[in-house]
Structure 1
């Protein structure tokens, strides 16, 4: 939920500042629709909002540890990016950057992006990481098949409950029918002797 809200905020800000040069960065051309955005050596701790016209992006030598989900999704014209020499913390929060780098492989010039922490992953290329290697990502992911199996089990349970209810209704009707037959037979057993007695009296 938090990641979805963050993405919505990024989209809103993008429409507002789509052609603005990020604060603390230098852009070329300096006017509207910057194509080259240089945010290197700025000690940035968060990725700034980037204009969609960016073709070259330089974020090296900062204090960046992660990239928020969706931060690079609007950079459709990007063909050069430098993310090296940052303090990338490789846990579950780095998965967006890892997947983004994998998707862009071969499509643009990308500098080596390596983990800074934790020590067990120091200097590992982020794009080469496996999700089970990342701290706090060791628990198995819930796959679509898990949800399908859960929904199927729930459906089967509902069918069984519905069948059981129908069986109860049918059984109740049968019991009621038998009770009515028994009552009718009892009433008939009381009525017939009285009729026969009445006929005998009339015959006399």
Structure 2
């Protein structure tokens, strides 16, 4: 049992007790501000007792989904002065900010151009979704076409298999009847 405890601490989405690099920690305050953190090198977890998290003044464009959800003691988050990209990837941050209204000050979109300067919490879901990349739709359409083609090939193979089995069954019956006739003729010749 004691061996499993360290493994549980390494599971994704779990909080840790160690101060993440390159942040500095003082008590329950985690200061990651002005550390050049990006969305790709952001720590994957923060200490579980964190009450104040400073992430301002970094080149953060988005936050990974669920990164703040396990921080139940969190009372204050500083996210301003980051170049937030308000596309599909900002939906998690928008929902989290709406649930924690005291953390939304200065959390503005830096792109796309038509949303630049807008507070993320004031964006409608439609505005964010309109900024999504349309290649997702093309990918979905391509996947559906591939699925339909795959199903049609499977149906054709199934029909071919049924036709083959019917012909095989017919040939089998003909062979049995031919063999039975031959056996009967042989019996007639041997009885003479």
Q: Same fold (TM over 0.5)?
A: yes
Structure 2 contact 97–104 (Cα < 8 Å) conserved: no
Report the Cα distance in structure 1 between the residues aligned to 2:116 and 2:46, rounded to whole angstroms.
28
CA RMSD of superposed structures (Å): 4.3
How much has 1:9 moved relative to structure 2?
A: 7.4
Assess, with a 3 A threshold, how the Cα gap between structure 1 residues 12 and 139 changes in structure 2: closer, same or farther: closer
Q: Quote the Cα distance in structure 1 between the aligned partners of 2:135 and 2:118.
A: 18
Q: Which runs of 5+ in 2 are unaligned?
A: 1-8
Distance 2:59 2:47 in 1: 21
Partner of 1:37: 30
- TM-score, with length taken from structure 2: 0.60
**Alpha-carbon distance between aligned partners in 1 of 2:58 and 2:183, rounded to the nearest angstrom:** 98
Summarize the alignment of residues 51-200 of structure 1 with structure 2, pairs less than 5 Å apart: 51-92=47-88, 95=89, 97-103=90-96, 105-112=98-105, 113-127=107-121, 128=123, 129-134=127-132, 136=133, 139-140=136-137, 142=140, 150=147, 154=151, 157=154, 161=158, 165-166=161-162, 168-182=164-178, 184-185=180-181
Q: 1:57, 1:68 → 2: CA distance?
A: 15
**Aligned residue pair count:** 169
Match of 1:50 in 2: 46
Separation (CA, whole Å) in 2 of partners of 1:109 and 1:155: 55
2:4 is matched with: none
Unaligned runs of 5+ in 1: 1-7, 199-204
Which of 1 and 2 has greater Rg? 1
Report SS of the residue matched to 1:81: strand
TM-score (norm 1): 0.57
Residue deviations 1:52-104 (CA, integer Å, cap 9, x gap): 21122232233322323443233122232221121223345xx2x43143145
Secondary structure of 1:52's partner? coil
Note closer, same or farther for the CA distance 1:138–1:167 as it changes in structure 2 (3 Å cut).
closer
Q: Tell me if the contact between 2:87 and 2:128 (Cα under 8 Å) persists in the aligned partners.
A: no
Mean alpha-carbon deviation: is it higher for 166-175 or for 50-59? 166-175
Over 3 Å counting, the alpha-carbon distance change for 1:110 and 1:13 in structure 2 is closer
- Secondary structure of the 2:12 match is helix
1:4 corresponds in structure 2 to none
Counterpart Cα distance in 1 of 2:170 and 2:69: 66
Q: CA deviation at 1:122?
A: 1.2
